[in-house]
Amino acid sequence: MEPTLHALLRYSQHDLEGGHRCPITWDLRNIPSTSVRHITSPDRTLSEFELSQHATAPPVTALHIICDLPPEDWPIIAQNENGVTVGNVLDAIHNVLKAQIKQPEWDRLPEKKQSLIGSIFDERWRNADDPRTTWSYGVLRVDCILRHTVFAGLTMAVGSADSCILSLRRPPPS
């Protein structure tokens, strides 16, 4: 039996509310525990109970998360010997994307992509609460996903019991 994803994580082909494709909204640049919110109650973050729910039914001990935007050498794997939880999944995504990009990774990028990423990085550090500290951390992997910074949900990969596909979208215009 192939696992099914928890409803909070599941991507939908249909608009759920306000153009969202998933019951939660989360800007991947922010820490999940304080910024993942319900689309129906944007002032409410996920509760500890919701974060502790198994990410799949039946539970799996590892969930490989595939995204077309980051390079292949940035594997996202949520693990928990007691069963991967919603919180494990969100933390795994965040931990991979908050890492600093390494020079060999940067060097493999085409010049045009480096320029786009550089612009995103400049915007991020200039708008930070502490620009100097943010700048000192350098380019992060999250900068490499450019403007597709909003979690749009997961879809189980066809024929795989432990892999899912991460969908991203751009934030709504402010």
| Burial class of residue 101, CB neighbours in 10 A (0-12, 13-18, 19+) | buried
* Pick from 65, 70, 67: nearest CA to 145: 70
Averaged pLDDT for residues 27-38? 91
* Pick from 142, 138, 136: nearest CA to 95: 142
Provide the whole-model pTM: 0.91
How many CA atoms lie less than 13 Å away from 47 in the CB half-sphere?
A: 4
Q: What is the pLDDT of residues 69-120, one digit of tens each?
A: 656 668 899 999 999 999 999 999 999 999 999 999 899 899 999 999 999 9
**Which residues, 6 or more positions from 156, have their beta carbon under 8 angstroms from its beta carbon?**
2, 3, 4, 5, 163, 164, 165
- CA atoms of 44 and 166, how far apart (whole Å): 23
| Cβ–Cβ under 8 Å, residues 64 and 75 | yes
Q: Is the dihedral of CA 169, 166, 94, 105 positive or negative?
A: negative
Q: What is the pLDDT of residues 125-143, one digit of tens each?
A: 999 999 999 999 999 999 9
Residue 146 has pLDDT above 80, yes or no: yes
- CA atoms of 143 and 112, how far apart (whole Å): 14
- The helix/strand/coil state of 152 is strand
- CA atoms of 129 and 120, how far apart (whole Å): 16
- CA atoms of 35 and 151, how far apart (whole Å): 11
